[in-house]
Amino acid sequence: DFRNTIIVMTSNIGAAKLTKQAAKIGFKLEEEATAEEKAYEEKRKEVIKELKANLRPEFINRIDHIIVFNALDQHSIRKIVKIHLDNLEARLKNKGFSIEVDQKAVHLLGELGFDPEYGARPVRRVIQERIEDEIAEHILKGIFEEGDTIRIVAKGKDRFDFLHGDQTKAKKEPKMEEINEAIS
């Protein structure tokens, strides 16, 4: 029985025009985002025109609704970053750690993870490479121990510092001399 079925189809038809606009927009001020929302209908008309140029009318007439997605704005990207960080926090909590991420770090992750062509798809990879892998290394080296709060702060335009909750600097790695002294 196929009567109560919803079929969702996706396409990149018209995406080139939207991608060019997204590249121009990138991260924009909230006022600009509002202006962009007003231009939605104009973009939709362009995409529908492109759709009609690429698909036969018989096929288009069988489609009930056509939805054109807007380019992601800064606020949306930050929400996506926070969702991924919440997921990381839950996994770390199961291991006995907690994390605190400052707003500058969230913003930087959004900038590093946004690509006008791919949208927010790279966000997950950036968080894994820049945050998760670093935290794992710090834990393996003994810099962070179970029960610690790991504070993540942006450092510069493309780096992050991993600090202990209340401190401004993470525990430094013990030097070989200190390890030898502790053993003897």
Is pTM beyond 0.85? Reply is no
CA separation for the pair 128, 43 (Å, rounded): 34
User: How do 149-155 and 98-101 pair as beta strands?
Assistant: parallel
CATH 1.10.8.60 in the chain, residue ranges: 74-164
Domain spanning 74-164: CATH 1.10.8.60: yes
pLDDT tens digits for 107-136? 999 999 988 777 788 999 999 999 999 999
Give the model's pLDDT for residue 184.
47
* Regions of the chain where pLDDT drops below 50: 25-27, 29, 169-175, 179, 184
**Hey, how many other C-beta atoms are within 10 angstroms of the C-beta on 142?**
10
